[in-house]
Amino acid sequence: MATMLMGYDTEYHAIGENLARGGGESFYGSLPDDTTEAGLDIITAIHEAVGVTGTLFVCGRTLLQCLPALRKAAANPLLDVQQHTYSHILFKDDTWKGGLFPQSRPEALRHELGATSALIKEHLGTDCIGLRTPHGYYLGLADRPDHLQLLADNGIEYVTSWGRNSEHDMPSPFDIQPFWYEEQGFPDILELPFQHWADAFWFEGYGIDRGAEFLEVLKEGVDEIVEKDLVYGACFHEWAMIRYNEAGTGWARGVMEYALEQGVEVMSYTDYYNQQLQQRGS
């Protein structure tokens, strides 16, 4: 059965690299201070209306800056909270929009993973088992067993890190499907790739006011997974709900509704991980 995984990188207030993008104007635009709160309200309303689960991959700094809103979101049974590091630091070098975003040192990665999981436990009362790596990478972490060790040391049981094609760009192909990192020596860590287009990549390339057109692009992705019986890991952002006017164009809600109409099972990343873990043990 074709499956669509809903995940939202929740990172506004956290991204230091924003400064390298020209103070934010070139990427985030003039977004209000309450962008995370407003974005979470939209995400929550969508999931309540459609009746499916989703995962918030939250940066630790965003959690502390927007704690009431994230407590409210986490209390909703349709949403779960996993992590996105503390300050959006990178596991591998990345280039985008003409800039180099360098990978962080292992000591920084280890600290941020541990600190963010601890903050989620302290403030939301849940154990963190999932991670979306900031940015996405060709091969995910398959070529970095040292980073997989950091994940294992910090209790991360699934990661969503493979989100680029062989040119280190998007769209990422659907033939990259979930897999356990057995060959790397970590058989208990599941990779859940995110494929097709992340919202920001498409909008920043084709126009930030073209939500209705983006919905049609997303529907094409749904059609492909239905035809081939695949898993589609979606990568959206809480601030994207505001910058790209989801409320006015319905691109996020629309793709979920369309997927359900096509017989696709729509769920959170964490629900899918738990499903795979159960099937593996049976």
DSSP one-letter string for 44-87:
HHHHHHHT--EEEEE-HHHHHHTHHHHHHHHTSTTEEEEE--SS
Please report the pLDDT score of residue 165 as a whole number. Answer: 96
Number of domains in the chain: 1
Please report the pLDDT score of residue 100 as a whole number. Answer: 80
* Report field, pTM of the whole predicted structure over 0.75: yes
Range of the domain at 128: 3-281
CA-to-CA distance for 9 and 84, rounded, in angstroms? Answer: 7
Query: For the segment 214-255, what is each residue's pLDDT rounded down to a tens digit?
Result: 999 999 999 999 999 999 999 999 999 999 999 999 999 999
Find the helix or strand (DSSP H, E) in which 9 lies: strand 3-10
Give me the CATH number covering residue 59. Answer: 3.20.20.370
Of 213, 223, 170, 212, the closest CA to residue 194 belongs to 170
CA separation, residue 257 to residues 41, 84, 95, 170, 280 (Å): 18, 27, 34, 24, 30
Residues 6 or more apart whose CB falls under 8 angstroms from that of 141 comprise 91, 133, 147, 148, 151, 159, 161, 162, 181, 184, 191
Query: For the segment 154-205, what is each residue's pLDDT rounded down to a tens digit?
Result: 999 999 999 999 999 999 999 999 999 999 999 999 999 999 999 999 999 9
